Amino acid sequence: MVDQRDEFISEAQEIIEGLARDLLALDASLKRQQGADHELVNDAFRAVHTLKGLSSLFGVARMSTLSHHLEDLLDDLRLGRVELTARVLDVLFRAVDVYGQILAALRAGDPEPASVVDALLSELGQAISRPTGGASNPLAEYDLDPGLLAVLTEYEEHRLKTNLQQGVSLFVIRVRFDLATIDGALDNLKSRAKPHGEILTYLPSGEGGDSDSIDLDVLLASRQSLDVLRTELGGPTVSIEPVARRARAPHELPPSEPPPTQFLGSAAPRITTPPAAPEGVFTPRGGSVAQAPPSPFAGTSPRVVIQPPPEGDPIASLEVPRAGLSIRGVAQTVRVDIRKLDHLMNIVAELAIVRSALSRITDRVRGLPELRELGIELHRLHRGLDRHLGDLQSGILEVRMVPLGQVFDKLARVVRQISREHDKDINLVITGAETEVDKLIVEELSDPLMHMIRNAIDHGIERRRVREERGKPEAGTIALNAYQKGNHVVIEVQDDGAGIDEERVLEKAIQRGLVAEGEAGALLQRDILAFIFVPGFTTKEGASQLSGRGVGMDVVKTNIGKLGGVIDVHSELGIGTKVTVTLPITLAIISALVVVIAGRRYALPLASVLEALVFDPWSVRTIEGREVMTLRGSTLALCRLDALFGLPPLPDSPPPPRRFVVVVGVGNQRLGCVVDQLIGQQDIVIKPLGKSLEGVRGFAGATELGDQHVGLVIDAPAIVEDVLAASDATRLLGARKGSEV
């Protein structure tokens, strides 16, 4: 039961994300004044329709009600009964948020949030404004068969009229399809026709065809010339003719307002009985044709009554390939619980242990002359195992990777919402949405990034008037860039706003006693900007509605830190601010430097290792009881890890002939860790320590280093923080470092 609910949530989530993307694209096309892309409206409509079905299946009543109303709205949009405006889009975006809230409540096992849904429902009613005035009916000018017009769905008719109003020409393509392959062939035709125009509808022609094939008349609206279409779409079984304009008396026109029907899932086509008695009857499917009329589009035919076959109707049966498309699309992806992947990763780790045992046996066997042949064979097998195991490991890692676009879509929604609330015009420019990161990281990223974006809009981008005065374009730009850099992914949030006023930050820092007034002069820009990460720090008088609501940059920093990431700020007054987040690509496997401290092996994540050098005891000086050395002209605080960890030397190990300093860097702080030996670089899987060791600081987890031996993974940021705790000595060092650089 629980699993089913999870399944529902993740499926709904996926659909909602798709819906949000469609809405963003619609918003973009609306901004460019291109008008609403009808395909996007259709996609959104389908998404909501699916959500409606899903939610009522799982008894999520409010979600189902909401979807029902949204579906009505989107249907109206599709049919042109409601105009797509920014206001309508607002409501739709709100709906995406409300969907998210419902899912969050479900996930937490709470009841659906009633009030937000109700509020949105009432808003839905208000947002809709019907277009005024009935446009002239463009259909009158075309030589179209009334029988055809009678079977058009309301949507198809709407699209037909829209196209004609825009002066697009109509063509009839008659194609013969083999019944056995019609699905594929029709899809093929549709995709080839798509660049040239819009397929409005298709119907059996009633002519030609036999038991194995059928002729379809496809009504295409296109701006291309007939010749182009003939070369692009033509073929031995294809003929293309334009539909002529005509000037006939209006009374011959079909009823201009056929009764509305549902587009999807309509059971029976509408049948309009023409005034005169039927002269010819045909059943669609190309089966028994009593008196074959020419194309229903031709308009020259005698009046035709289209009579549905006893079961199913031509529209419904031809609708199948469309629906089939989307089903196929979904069936190729599988949703997997990330815990299952973790489990697989553990199995791989165990296999790696088996592999190293096998390697030892192989070496032993190869050492025995009488088993030489066996040894060679074993060696070959071992190499094969090694390779495949490596492939398996990287395969599983790859499955965990998802594009950052997942978060960026969410952020684009936030930007749109906030900029409208704040009445600031903002262009969001996204690059590198395809950059891939571990799923777990992506999940944890959205909150910190959202906060950074809020900051950029609220504190960064100036009001329109101010921007004008400063000679900046009226619309602010926020760039969201992502790219891979070695084993890391870099995400930048950059705005062209006011920048951070260092003077004010410093002023506030002095006010809050973060720095003594006398020492403030020695601080570098970096040190000053670092104050914005202090809990509760804000330069804004009176928290705004957007940011400054308790969650500050300190939370952002903590969250990024938890992911093993580092955050950096660059800012220029009046030009803009850039916040850079550097993250490991995956949490599952990291590169680490294995070191020996007092005879024990430890792993130091390479992400925080800057360099390693031989330790020269003569270069050590002591400043205020703290050991430091000079590295390329600047002072480096030292930390003897054996002493920090309280490790006595093992009884049987002699003191090392020479030691090493591993320089670790976290943000802009550096610390030299003194270790006994460097063993080398190794890819490790970090495993959490059990609950009983939760309170132990300094270790990020443990990992298997081979031979059943567990090594602890040093939590470099925690060590750096502990050692360089905000003491007077640190500030002294910081200031001195500054003056030396």
Partner 1 sequence: MSRKTAGTRVRNRENDPRRAALARRAVERGARAEYLAFRMAEEIYAVPIAYVKEILKLPPLTEVPRAPADVMGVISVRGRIVTVRDLRRRMRLPESAPTRRSRILLAELAPELGGTGERVGLFVDEVLHVYRFTDAELESAANVLGSELAEYVAGIGRQAGEMIILIDLRSILGGQKAPPAPARTALAGGRA
For residue 636, list its beta bridge partners. 629
Is residue 712 near partner 1 by the rule CB under 8 A? yes
Angle between helices 114-127 and 86-107 (to 10 degrees): 170
Q: What distance in Å separates the CA atoms of residue 722 and residue 712, rounded to the nearest whole number?
A: 18
Among 692, 725, 726, 739, indicate the residue that binds partner 1 (CB under 8 A).
692
Residues 6+ apart with CB under 8 A from 476: 424, 425, 426, 427, 457, 460, 461, 462, 467, 495, 496, 497
Is 514:531 a contact under the CB 8 Å cutoff?
Answer: yes
- Do residues 536 and 552 lie in contact, with contact meaning Cβ atoms separated by under 8 Å? yes
How many residues bind partner 1 (CB under 8 A)? The answer is: 28
**Is residue 642 helix, strand or coil?**
helix
Restricting to residues 647-666, which ones interact with partner 1 according to CB under 8 A? 647
Q: Binding partner 1 by CB under 8 A: which of 1, 167, 691, 726?
A: 691
With contact defined as beta carbons under 8 Å apart, do 204 and 285 qualify? yes
**Which of 687, 731 has the CB closer to partner 1?**
687
CA–centroid distance for 451 within its chain: 17
Smaller CB separation from partner 1, 393 or 635: 393
Judged by CB under 8 A, the residue of 256, 346, 558, 653 near partner 1 is 346
For the record, the structure tokens of 614 come out as 């031989």
Q: How far is the C-alpha of 621 from the C-alpha of 434, rounded, in Å?
A: 49
Q: 157: closest CA among 301, 38, 256, 299?
A: 256
Residues 6+ apart with CB under 8 A from 562: 444
167 binds partner 1 (CB under 8 A): no
Helix, strand, or coil here: 445? helix
Q: Which stretch binds partner 1 (CB under 8 A): 34-42, 309-317, 375-383, 697-705?
A: 697-705
Q: Which residues of 523-540 are buried (b: 16+ CB within 10 A; e: fewer)?
A: beeebbbbbbbbeebbbe
Identity of the residue, 463 or 709, whose beta carbon is nearer to partner 1 in the bound complex: 709
C-alpha–C-alpha distance, residues 531 and 400, integer Å: 36
- 349 touches partner 1 (CB under 8 A): yes
Comparison of 393 and 455: residue with beta carbon closer to partner 1: 393
- In angstroms, give the least distance from the CB of 50 to partner 1: 39
708 binds partner 1 per the rule CB under 8 A: yes
Quick one: 533 or 699, whose CB is closer to partner 1? 699
**Does 711 participate in binding partner 1 (rule CB under 8 A)?**
yes
Does position 645 interact with partner 1 (CB under 8 A)? The reply is yes
Q: Judged by CB under 8 A, which stretch of 434-442, 527-535, 577-585, 707-715 contacts partner 1?
A: 707-715
Nearer to partner 1, 74 or 662 (CB): 662
One-character DSSP codes across 542-607: S--SSS-SS--HHHHHHHHHHTT-EEEEEEETTTEEEEEEEEES-SSEEEEEEEEETTEEEEEEGG
Asked if residue 549 binds partner 1 (CB under 8 A), the reply is no
**Which of these ranges, 139-147, 451-459, 511-519, 700-708, lies near partner 1 under the rule CB under 8 A?**
700-708
Q: Binding mask 254-293 vs partner 1 (x if CB under 8 A, - otherwise)?
A: ----------------------------------------
Please report how close the Cβ of residue 195 comes to partner 1 at its closest, in angstroms. 53
In whole angstroms, the minimum distance from the beta carbon of 686 to partner 1 comes to 10
The candidate with the shortest Cα–Cα distance to 608, out of 659, 553, 673, 558, is 673
- CA angle, 328 then 332 then 336, to 5°: 135
Asked whether the beta carbons of 418 and 549 are under 8 A apart, the reply is: no
Between 226 and 347, CB nearer to partner 1: 347
Of the candidates 303, 687, 731, 736, which one interacts with partner 1 according to CB under 8 A? 687
Q: What would the x/- binding string for partner 1 be over residues 578 to 607, using CB under 8 A?
A: ----------------------x-------
> Among residues 60 and 589, whose Cβ is nearest to partner 1?
589
Whether 635 and 628 have beta carbons less than 8 Å apart is answered as yes
Angle between helices 38-57 and 2-31 (to 10 degrees): 160
For residue 339, state whether it binds partner 1 (rule: CB under 8 A).
no
Which x/- pattern, by CB under 8 A, does the window 294-333 give for partner 1? ----------------------------------------
The distance of closest approach from Cβ of residue 357 to partner 1 in the complex, given in angstroms and rounded to an integer, is 14
| Contact stretch for partner 1 (CB under 8 A) within 84-92, 188-196, 450-458, 692-700 | 692-700
In the three-class reduction of DSSP (H, G, I as helix; E, B as strand; rest coil), residue 705 is classed as coil
Question: Which residue stretch of 304-312, 342-350, 384-392, 483-491 sits at the interface with partner 1 (rule: CB under 8 A)?
Answer: 342-350
Token pair belonging to 727:
């003491």
Among 479, 689, 732, 735, binds partner 1 (CB under 8 A): 689
Asked if residue 478 lies in contact with residue 415, where contact means CB atoms within 8 angstroms, the answer is yes
**Minimum distance from residue 3 beta carbon to partner 1 (Å):** 21
Asked if 565 is part of the footprint of partner 1 (rule: CB under 8 A), the reply reads no
Task: Summarize as ranges the residues that interact with partner 1 (CB under 8 A).
Answer: 346-347, 349-350, 600, 645-647, 687-693, 696-699, 701-702, 704, 707-712
